[in-house]
A and B are shown apart, each in its own frame.
Chain A
Amino acid sequence: MANELFIVAYDGVDRDVVDYAAVRAKASGASLHIVHVLHWSPYSFLTPQELEERKMRRREELERARSTLLDPLVAELKGGGLSVDCEIRFGSPTELILEVAKTRQASLIFVGRSGKSSIENKIFGSVTLGLAQAAPVPTVIVP
């Protein structure tokens, strides 16, 4: 099972889930796919000014997530001898992680449990429940 793939739902704050998934992946020789979802609804309301700046902001958000969060993380894990890649998506975290898990035929999903009080974690809390209910593959909830 050398080509097993684990999905890690990473909110940008909770490193524990990544570290735990890395340990498990190493133990079973699996590769990691880190998914970072930027919350976005196609039905939210924006002012005209925000419409104008949306594309610019999107670019900035992507750039920031990539350069400050994911690139260092992937480099670090790769340094530890793991096979790792990542993707950043816009939308509803639960839906997108499920979609990625299906299309990539992952065998496990790792997700954090909200314990901290940041807003992102509050959003992520519902993602944990959503994945627990709807995931097509075994899902590990990391405390």
Chain B
Amino acid sequence: MRFRAAFLLPALMTTAHALPAWAQEAEEGGGASIDQWIDSIVAPVTSPFVNFIFASLPGTNLPWIVLWLITAAVIFTFYFGFVQFRMVPHAIQLVRGHYTSPDAAGEVTHFQALATAVSGTVGLGNIAGVGVAIAVGGPGATFWMILSGLFGMASKFTECTLGVKYREEHPDGRVSGGPMHYLKKGMAEIGKPGLGKGLAIGFAICCVLASWGGGNMFQANQAHAQLVVITGGEESFLNGRGWITGVIMAAIVFLVIIGGIKSIARVTEKLVPFMGILYLLAALIVIIANIDHVGAAFAEIFEGAFTGLGVAGGLIGALIQGLRRATFSNEAGIGSAAIAHSAVQTKHPVTEGFVSMLEPFIDTVVICTATALVITISGVLQQDPTTGLYVWDEAAGRIATEGGLTGVELTSAAFGSRISWFPYVLAVAVVLFAFSTMISWSYYGLKAWLFLFGDNPSSELFFKLLFCFFVIVGAAISLGSVLDFSDASLFAMAIFNIIGCYFLMPIVKREMTSYVSKLRSGAIPKYVGEQPA
């Protein structure tokens, strides 16, 4: 306890000192100088780490971390005998409660664990990330995105099974788990406690950083950008005043995570699935209204996957963008989802593994593909009418569009070209998705933080206050190095998580084999018939 207090206090004081100076500079120098000031402090410290994580393999421009993730997904797929295809029907039955005992009513169901995990993952990655992937990698990136989603299901299966198996059940009834627990306990079980502890600590550190970055600052930043666009762009009152958005969002986050105002979180958690369904419906409307173009769009996706169709990077360009954005969106192999899934009520950890496989499927194979189809069909990407190849904007490094769009703006323009008012709905969706991702990541980060510094109320409060502070920072500044760093931390979580998963996969396999044989022999009770008519 003494050590913790000694560690926390100086950090707290540094933050307290930094704040007034920072605010003062905001008044004097305007937006750009704060950004530059933060950049100049952060960049020299973080760039070696960022460069290491996103370093390309020799002779290519494929980041090794992307290969690390996809290799793991392929290995898990083969090791578990294509579990993501064999066990999906069973996963759906589990979600529908066919195997949930009525005696367990009132505890966390498979549906609830899945829904919470999905609303933590579905978000900007599906809207903005796909926009980037298509702009830079061409429609062919979609093919690699889908493939990565399908393989990623096996990674999710592995980590979520372990998450439930090695979760902590506290005497007061709280249940929590995640990679830091299975790395520590699972590795100790197979006789490698030292390595396990190291991996767990490495994972937890990256998880805390990612929760401030990709799970917070990036979300606040993009939500603010969307608000500026729909309130008048350049002329918007909010333009250049990110701190306004930041303070409002931080206040709401504060009310939820510190004030314990659950109703706000509950409203968001209800709105997010609704927005997700609305988004999918809008995409379906666009797709059905242009059903005669869908064949051509798929042809472009397949052809583009192997030729690039005029995209500068060709096959490799499409591949990298597809894999990278899919991973950023569905977080398979990163380990974050295992934290949300581990509270489920079940006697067999592997059941939540099966259920968790639906997450990359919904996120990547369904929602990301819908976004990609809408962008491809809409015609916002400029094509050469004679060759059918895309027009490459050399200076921007992406496919030419009217106004040079990428990311969320490209997606927004693609929807807007078919449903004129949809960009407004999309902006609301982006803000809500950003908010729910922040709530989820505040929890993931907190769990990792408490794992590192011990489970006590003051350390918990300190983390939460810092989290709210970063919401304001994220919305207020344009984040070059800060964002790169948080992006890198998210991927770095996968280094520790996947090493652990390789060691622990025989345990998952034993769980799976024993469960499947029980299921076949009818030893797993099924309760579906007991519902009153």
Contacts and interface: CB of A to CB of B under 8 A. Distances in A.
Given A42-B97, A56-B174, 14 more contacts: A43-B109, A43-B112, A45-B273, A46-B116, A46-B269, A47-B269, A47-B443, A48-B339, A51-B113, A51-B116, A55-B108, A55-B175, A56-B173, A60-B173
Interface stretch (A2-10, A75-83, A87-95, A114-122): A87-95
A143 to B, nearest CB: 27
B113 A42 contact: no
A40 B105 contact: yes
A49 B272 CA distance: 17
B532 A91 contact: no
Nearest to A99: B532
Nearest to A88: B106
A47 B174 contact: no
Contacts of B150: none
A4 B109 CA distance: 36
Among the interface residues A53, A54, A57, A62, which one has the most CB atoms of the partner chain B within 10 A? A54
Interface string B93-112: 00001001010011111011
Contact of A52 (B106, B119, B343, B439): B343
Interface of A: 38, 40, 42-62, 89-91, 95, 98-99, 102
Given A51-B340, A55-B345, A56-B173, A42 B439 contact: no
Contacts of B116: 45-48, 51
The CB with the most chain B CB atoms within 10 A, among A42, A53, A89, A91, is that of: A42
A48 B173 contact: no
Contacts of A43: 109, 111-112, 115
A50 B263 CA distance: 12
Interface in B272-292: 272-273
Which range holds the interface residue count of chain B? 35 or more
Contacts of B108: 46, 51, 54-55
A49 B531 CA distance: 30
Contacts of A57: 173
A51 B265 CA distance: 13
Contacts of A55: 107-108, 173-175, 343, 345
Given A47-B265, A48-B443, A42 B174 contact: no
Given A47-B439, A54-B343, A55-B175, A102 B532 contact: yes
A113 B344 CA distance: 36
A31 B115 CA distance: 43
A95 B112 CA distance: 20
Nearest to A44: B112
Nearest to B170: A56
B173 A42 contact: no
14 contacts: A42-B97, A43-B111, A44-B112, A46-B116, A46-B269, A47-B256, A48-B440, A49-B265, A51-B108, A51-B344, A52-B176, A55-B345, A90-B105, A90-B106
Interface centre among A45, A53, A91 (most CB of B within 10 A): A45
